[in-house]
Amino acid sequence: MNRATSEQLYQEAEDLIVGGVNSPSRAFKGVGGGTPVFMDHGKGAHFTDVDGNHYIDYLGAYGPIITGHAHPHITGAIKTAAENGVLYGTPTKLENQFARMLTHAIPSLEKVRFVNSGTEAVMTTIRVARAYTNRRKIIKFSGCYHGHSDLVLVAAGSGPSTLGSPDSAGVTRNIAEEVITVPFNETESLKQALETYGDDIAAVLIEPIVGNFGLVEPKPGFLESVKALTHDNGSLLIFDEVISAFRFHYGSAQEITGVEADMTAMGKIIGGGLPIGAYGGRVDIMEQVAPLGPAYQAGTMSGNPASMAAGIACLEVLQQDGVYDEMDRLGEKLEKGILKHAESYGLPVKINRLKGMLTVYFSEHDVTNYDEAEATNGKQFAEFFHLMLEEGINLAPSKFEAWFLTTAHTEDDIDQTLEAVENSFKQMAQK
């Protein structure tokens, strides 16, 4: 594939924008380097890059694009919003309408507040939990990503009862000491951490269905135990559903797993591709937030009409009969096809999939936690990624990400993708 224009634009970008990208995951660092592809336009499940090459897209912009690119219903809603003025700084009817849709779909959301990103949503749930409990520390789980606010950019300490260390320059030791990180899908370490720091723990923060070391589901009983231990300790349970909300069904992971959170953070899909975040939960907790309570949170852009309109339109598409079943059906076909080709070419592949979201790990072993994801073969993934890109398949450039199907993917897209997978595996097996 000729990508001369992408290469030229990337050089230009490196002079202008730090690292040439506006979010580090877009650089190809996780796949041994290379030039990120500059896309020109997207339609449905397809992209065309600036050199005129075509791709089937499984990146889905890291999750938000569940109805495909430029879905006419969402595009129409955004156009109408733009024509009416994109930002008022006053309340609007759209905010009520959208808040009603979210609170109806997710029963634990008694009250919500809109913000502008997943980062903001999670950051605020932590502040509110601290205000509510009058405690300082939080517990989170290894490999779960919660945005880039200071508190959640803290790596695990050396054991379940040790405090974290900064995971980014600029995050201070004081902040790292507010966070304990324990393994996912295992409750012993959480128990120990709660025993050590019990009275200090404001909240336990978790992705109930993980999307950030690939797709990883909670083992049966795990979330129930997390909730029981958290509540026995007088702490709040926060679910980060920035990826999982509306990904697997019309609602959150809470209705799927049967475990409700005290507070929930959302983003991505609920903005239909425009910037958004939202958090919500029990009314007595949410009433800690200004102007009712002492916990301050605000935003010039929060609840802006364009994001509200796009989010409403996106959820309207997702309300249509059978959309999740169809993503499930195509996801299953993709999973089975990839496994079949992996077997034929003797490549060790494990796939975690739920409905239209899946992760392909190059591994002999199942992946149920971060350490297991970390142990999968990154070199093989990198090779696969670059071969697939040459075949016209756009995947996320990291072994820790997922493939996202959309309502726009067709049987034909899956067939073409499986052909690309076979060609890629064949080349990998010849090495």
As measured in angstroms, the least distance from the Cβ of 303 to ligand PMP is: 16
As measured in angstroms, the least distance from the Cβ of 47 to ligand PMP is: 20
Catalytic: which of 49, 57, 150, 240?
Answer: 240
96 Cβ contact partners less than 8 Å away, ≥ 6 residues apart? none
Q: Among 187, 212, 257, 407, which residue interacts with ligand PMP (rule: CB under 6 A)?
A: 212
Region 47-66 residues binding ligand PMP, contact defined as CB under 6 A: 62
Q: Is the dihedral of CA 242, 120, 204, 187 positive or negative?
A: positive
Query: Total residues contacting ligand PMP (rule CB under 6 A)?
Result: 15
**Rounded CA gap, 378 and 393, in Å?**
18
Q: Which two tokens stand for residue 262?
A: 């005290």
User: Which residue's CB comes closest to ligand PMP?
Assistant: 118
Of residues 110, 95, 66, the one with CA closest to residue 246: 66
Catalytic: which of 10, 62, 132, 145?
Answer: 145
Residue 65 exposed, middle or buried by CB count within 10 Å (0-12, 13-18, 19+): buried
User: Alpha-carbon dihedral of residues 286, 287, 289, 292, nearest 10 degrees?
Assistant: 160
Region 141-170 residues binding ligand PMP, contact defined as CB under 6 A: 145-147
Tell me: does residue 331 bind ligand PMP (CB under 6 A). Answer: no
Q: Among 66, 99, 242, 420, which residue interacts with ligand PMP (rule: CB under 6 A)?
A: 242
Q: Among 78, 112, 229, 243, which residue interacts with ligand PMP (rule: CB under 6 A)?
A: 243
Number of C-beta neighbours around residue 148 at 10 A: 17
As measured in angstroms, the least distance from the Cβ of 23 to ligand PMP is: 7
Only segment of 26-34, 112-120, 306-314, 346-354 that touches ligand PMP (CB under 6 A): 112-120
Q: Tokens 């797709």 identify what position?
A: 215
As measured in angstroms, the least distance from the Cβ of 268 to ligand PMP is: 6
Catalytic: which of 137, 140, 227, 268?
Answer: 268
**Rounded CA gap, 374 and 299, in Å?**
37
Tell me: does residue 117 bind ligand PMP (CB under 6 A). Answer: yes
DSSP 226-257: HHHHHHHTTPEEEEE-TTTTTTSSSS-HHHHH
Region 374-413 residues binding ligand PMP, contact defined as CB under 6 A: none
**Rounded CA gap, 63 and 99, in Å?**
21
Residue 296 DSSP one-character state: -
As measured in angstroms, the least distance from the Cβ of 430 to ligand PMP is: 35
CA angle 346-349-353, nearest 5°? 145
Q: Among 108, 119, 181, 352, which residue interacts with ligand PMP (rule: CB under 6 A)?
A: 119
**Rounded CA gap, 113 and 129, in Å?**
15
Inter-residue contact 84 to 39 (CB < 8 Å): no
Q: Among 211, 281, 331, 397, which residue interacts with ligand PMP (rule: CB under 6 A)?
A: 211
Rama region for 386: left / alpha / beta (φ>0; ψ in -120 to 50; rest) = alpha
Indicate the residue among 270 and 408 with the shorter CB distance to ligand PMP: 270
55 is catalytic: no
Only segment of 65-73, 97-105, 238-246, 253-261 that touches ligand PMP (CB under 6 A): 238-246
145 is catalytic: yes
Tell me: does residue 267 bind ligand PMP (CB under 6 A). Answer: yes
Q: Identify the bridge partners of residue 141 per DSSP, sorted by sequence position.
A: 182
Tell me: does residue 311 bind ligand PMP (CB under 6 A). Answer: no
Q: Among 27, 65, 94, 122, which residue interacts with ligand PMP (rule: CB under 6 A)?
A: 122
Of residues 192, 186, 201, the one with CA closest to residue 237: 201
Q: Identify the bridge partners of residue 267 per DSSP, sorted by sequence position.
A: 277
As measured in angstroms, the least distance from the Cβ of 154 to ligand PMP is: 15
As measured in angstroms, the least distance from the Cβ of 92 to ligand PMP is: 22
Indicate the residue among 243 and 313 with the shorter CB distance to ligand PMP: 243
As measured in angstroms, the least distance from the Cβ of 64 to ligand PMP is: 8
Report helix, strand or coil for 41: strand
Residues annotated as catalytic are: 145, 240, 268
Q: Which residues bind ligand PMP (CB under 6 A)?
A: 62, 117-119, 122, 145-147, 207, 211-212, 240, 242-243, 267
